[in-house]
Structures are given as structure tokens and as C-alpha cells.
Structure 1
Amino acid sequence: MTTPTAQSLTVFGQTLKLHSSTGSATPGPAFALVHGIGMSHRYLARLQNLLSVSADTYSLDLPGFGPNPRPGRPLSVEEHAAILVQVLLDAGVSRCVLVGHSMGTQIVAEAALQAPELVAGVVLIGPVVDRRRRTVLRQAFALAHDSLREAPSANLIVFTDYLRTGIRWYLSELKPMMTYPLEDRMPGMKCPALVLRGSRDPVARKEWCRELAETSPAGQFSEIEGHPHVVQHSAPAAVAELIRTFTRSIPSRADAK
């Protein structure tokens, strides 16, 4: 495990922050972690610390989120994905496994479509938005329900990050999230995908997660018993082990040819 270093970057005219844990001697793909709407790298920190033991690991604060200034207009999922890809290329990453949570799952899936040579695999934790529940009211109710199941430490991060993001930027990014059809993107992915949820997650329900895994050409589904939506914070060791096992199953570039 290495202590992450943080740096502010400007990519395609947008400011973001990259938290890097590098120097791993273990060969294999790097990991890149992407947060959900309203959030920052903070609720991915436990997972980053664990994954950095076995590979270089990066975590982003996307434009408008965390400490970053708000862009002058909403950014689409496709734009966030293009920024993610460019950040990783600029960091010298040649092959990686992308790990997204909530809205971050949309961004990593889109990045895999945009840069198939870079992305060896994707991990979708608590993916959104369930096509059967694609209304703001249903999503708001599910998030409120989930807050009753989360640990106090998770809720503290979530609520303080929401306050830092602000209602205006949150609502600006809500429409791109609600309209991005993740289920239509999965079949086009060339890399393996792991769809992961906590068994007590009211946001990413089991039927929806299984559907995403089954529509991916090389999809897997896993569930961590007894944990809610922010499972990477409440069960980081279990999530990290599933990600490592998944990563070991990905063919190397030489084997894939």
C-alpha cells in the first residue's frame, strides 16, 4: 500500500483532481476508480488503499465534484469518459481495469467503448440507472432508503460531499445520468465486465445487475451479502478481493491475440 499523491489537472478545459498510488512492483493492469454523482474519491479511499497493494491505482475527483470548480455547462457521460481516458493516457497507463460506482459505472463503461485498447476490464459497483425504475422520484426514494442502511461513516462522507458539490451542479449532472442507457452499451463492450452489488442495495437491484452482466459479452455477477449501496466503503476487503480475482481472469494482451 502506498500513500496517494494528489494533483490538479486540466483536461479538455476542465479541472479535476487525480489521486495516484503508484510504485507497485507487481505486473498487470492498473486500477482506476470513478465515483458517482455528487461524490468524490473519499468514499473510494478504503478500496484504493487495498488495491494499491497489488497494482498502481488511481482515483479521480471529476470536474465539478469534490474540490473542483464547476464547469460552465453540464457534462455528458461521454465527456466524463473522454476526460478519464485522457487522464490515464497522460499518466502513462497503457492497460487498466476501470472501477466505477453508481454513476461512475456509466463513465467507465463508456470509457471502455471509447478506448478498448486501454481498458482490459470494467467493474460496475451498484450500477445505475435501472431501466425499470428510471425516474428521479424512484431514484431519490431508493437513495433515501439506502441512507438508513449505510454506516454512519459512509453517510458522513456522502452528505458532506453532496454539500460540497451543491444542488445546482448535482441537478445539472442528474439528467445525463438518468438518460444514459447503460443496458444498451453493455453488448458493445469488448472487455470482460464484473457487475457487483451489496445484497441490501435498494438502488442497484439484483435483477438489474444480473441483466447487465448477462448482456455483456464476457460478464460476471457477484453479490456481497449484507451490505448496501456504498459496499466499497462498508466491505472494502471483500470488494478488493473480488476485483483482484476478476482481474486475474482477464487474458493478457498476448493471450487475447
Structure 2
Amino acid sequence: MQAGALMELKAGEGPSALPRLKTPGGIAYAEAGLGEGAPLVLIHGVGMRLEAWGPQIAAFKDRCRVIAVDMPGHGESAALAEGSGIADFVAWLGRFLDEMKLERVSLAGHSMGAMISGGAVARFPERIARVALLNGVHRRPEAAKAAVLARAAAIRATGVDKDGPLKRWFGEDAASLQARALTRGWLEAVDPEGYAVAYTAFAGGDAVYAETWPTVTCPALFLTGSGDPNSTPEMAQAMAAMAPKGWARIIEGHRHMVNLTAPEAVNGFLAEWLVAEEKPA
């Protein structure tokens, strides 16, 4: 482990590249911190890379071991095979935990990372001390599902769409404009093939683990922005209502990339989650 390998980050900012290590299976990650308790594992969303967790790495590296991982086909991680579904991405996370010799972790995911996290706590709950879904998707309405499937089908013909996600994910306030510039850079750097495989799995994966939340007994946080059109407050509240120790937090005035546009609020809710042992009042 390289404690302190991550450079200092200010809230809402992130460098173009953080130093990476790799597992024997080709999974790239960065880590910092030596705190006790379950390590905090962070999984970003489709089209992003581990730098998207910059404000959270900076906030929590002094209290716990933080491990941010590049999703398959993103950053410097090896891609999964074409045709891989969300269950394959969940199995990939299990291999990562095995290769890192992590027996039990606090797991937080954003967007597709949230979908993977939900699958992980369903498939190997004994390894997840607590789970947090940031801007997670749960049973998309038919119109939204049709739109995301159409975007997935168009990727190989048109390449990585940058303008569409940026319009959906950000407002026009100063914090959003700064985060938008970072996000555009990450979208421009993503491997098109890895992006296509991941986005296709994301498009078809919203119902795979949707009904497993009643069996999840660990603390479960569901957080999103009030203006996120795809990972809606209603989705977060529905999942929270199903999970025995689940609760929802909605950040007003923000959209999809809340961990970048509202880092102080997000970090406050994650701090609450990291010490949770039972459902908050």
C-alpha cells in the first residue's frame, strides 16, 4: 500500500491523473490513508475515472484507508469482454476485493458504480460492511429506459457522446461549470470500446438487482440530486424504503455529479454513513 500516494485535493477539484497501482489481474487503483476499520472502496460511473472521487479522497483519507478503483475499460483498468452485463461487473469487483485481500469494506459507488455496489451487496453481503449509492438507478420508467438503450446502441456508430451527458449532469452555476470542465476531460480520455461495453451493461442493468434490497441488512445510504433526471429522488427513496437499514438523502439544486458540485454536503452525508450502525432517525 502506498499511503499518501494521492495528492492533496481541494473540494470540487481533481488532478488530471493520480498515481496508480495495479492488481495482478490488471485492475488499476489509487489509495491513501491508514485508518482503522473497514476500508472505503469507491467506484466511479461510466465514462469517468477514479479522479472523479477527488473531493471524497481528500476528505476521508485522514480517517480511513481509501481505495478508488478504475472501472473496467476506464482509466488504466483492463476492459471486460464485449457483451458483459452488470453481473460481470459485479463479479469483477469481487475479484478486485480478492486480489486486494479485502475481507470486508465500506462500499460507495456513483451512477454505474452505484449499480455495481448494489449488485455486490446482493451477491456477497458478508464482505460489505455498509453500502452507499450516489445517483443510483432503480427500475427506470419506460421512456427513460428506451432513451438509455438508444444511447447505448448509438455508441459504436457515433463514438463517445460528450455534450449530451454534460447537459444532463450539470447546471449553469459556478461549481457546475468547474466540474463540467473536469468531466469533459475524463469523457474525452475514455477508451471508446471500454465505454461501449460498460454503457451497454449500465443501460440494461437497472432491474437486475432491483428487488434484493429487502435482504440487505447493512447500513445503506441512497443519495442523489434533486434535479437529476435519470437517477431521480424517487428512485433513491424507493430503494431506501426497501432496505431494512436504508435512508435517502436528496441534495437540493444539484444534478448527477453531486460529489463534485456539492462536495461538502456529500461528504457530510458520507461521514454520517461511515459511522452508522443502525438506521438514522
For the aligned pair, the TM-score class normalised by the smaller chain equals 0.7 to 0.9
Structure 2 unmatched runs, 5+: 7-18, 152-163
| Range moving further from structure 2, 100-109 or 207-216 | 207-216
Equivalent pairs, count: 246
39, 64, 67: which one pairs with 2:73? Answer: 64
Look up the match of 2:20: 6
Q: Which has the higher strand share?
A: 1
Runs of at least 5 residues in structure 1 that lack an aligned partner in the other structure: 252-257
User: CA, structure 1 residues 185+142, in 2 after alignment: closer, same or farther (shift >3 Å)?
Assistant: farther
Corresponding position: 1:28 with 2:13? no
The question of whether the paired residues in 2 share the 8 Å contact of 1:106 and 1:128 is answered with yes
Give the CA deviation at 1:72.
4.2
- 1:17 and 2:28 equivalent? yes
The question of whether the paired residues in 2 share the 8 Å contact of 1:2 and 1:53 is answered with no
Q: CA deviation at 1:105?
A: 0.6
| CA deviation after TM superposition for structure 1 residue 86, in Å | 2.8
Q: Does residue 99 of structure 2 align to residue 90 of structure 1?
A: yes
Q: Which deviations, in whole Å up to 9, do the C-alpha atoms of 1:172-230 show, x marking residues without a partner? A: 22221122114223233232210001222222111111111112222100112222211
Is the contact made by 1:197 and 1:204 (CA closer than 8 Å) also made in structure 2?
yes
User: Residue deviations 1:54-80, cap 9 Å, x none?
Assistant: 111110002211133444424322222
Matched, 1:146 2:160: no
1:184 partner SS: coil
2:52 aligned to 33, 43, 56, which one?
43
TM-score, normalised relative to structure 1: 0.85
Q: Displacement of 1:142 after TM fit?
A: 7.2
Post-superposition shift, 1:87? 2.1
Mean Cα deviation higher: 110-119 or 74-83: 74-83
- Cα-Cα RMSD: 2.5
Q: 1:90/1:169 Cα in 2 relative to 1: closer, same or farther (>3 Å)? A: closer
**1:155 corresponds to 2:180:** yes
For residue 124 of structure 2, what is the amino acid of its counterpart? A
Partner of 1:254: none
> Structure 2 counterpart of 1:233, which letter?
L
Pair 1:240 & 2:267 matched: yes
- One-letter code of the match for 1:172? V
Q: 1:129: how far off?
A: 5.1
Aligned pairs for 1:1-257 within 5 A:
2-4=4-6, 6-11=20-25, 15-24=26-35, 27-128=36-137, 130-132=139-141, 133-137=144-148, 144-149=167-172, 151-180=176-205, 181=207, 182-250=209-277
Distance in 2 (alpha carbons) for counterparts of 1:58 and 1:139: 33
Deviation at 1:6, TM superposition (A): 2.1
Percent identical: 23
